[in-house]
Amino acid sequence: MPKRKRKSIGQIRTKAKKMKLLRANETNAQRQQRLQAMKDRDKTSRADESEDQRDLRLQKMQEKASTWRVTESVDQREHRLQKMRKQASTLRTIEYVNQREHRLQKVREQVSTSRATESEDQRVRRLQIMREKTSTSRITESVDKREHRLQKIREQASTLRTT
């Protein structure tokens, strides 16, 4: 290969490399703007999709997520869950009362369904985890919180005795 051509090959920048450099140097505001533009493009392209196309797209996304979760490390998993918890708590601060009730009702239904179908081993494991969490939280709770918790238990016991 001629000398001149060899030099020019190294100078070719692919689109992916350009995007990587741009993203590395962008500010937080630019990043938010770019992500919002992507979301808007997705919304317009999804507006005319059929129910089957939507189901197929969501199924593919779920499969991708599940395969990615299999290979993720413990730290990555914890980071992902922490991020999801933060997003959920942010959304809960602005939700209406009826939305909250609907969400809680859905959670109750899911829990009752999963408990109805769980095996004995799963039940034992779930209860063991709950006991560990409870004991850990009781170790770290303050005296005031402990007194408040015990007072609530006493009140519940007294109402049960009267009925």
- Reading the chain (163 residues) residue by residue, the pLDDT tens digits are 555 666 666 666 678 888 888 888 888 888 889 888 888 887 777 778 888 988 998 999 999 999 988 999 999 999 999 999 999 999 888 889 999 999 999 999 999 999 999 999 999 999 999 999 998 888 888 888 889 989 999 999 988 888 7
CA torsion sign, 128 to 132 to 137 to 138?
positive
Q: Which helix (H) or strand (E) holds 149?
A: helix 143-162
Q: Angle CA(110)–CA(90)–CA(64) in degrees, nearest 5?
A: 60
Coil, strand or helix at 107? helix
Where do the structural domains in the chain lie, given as residue ranges? 71-140
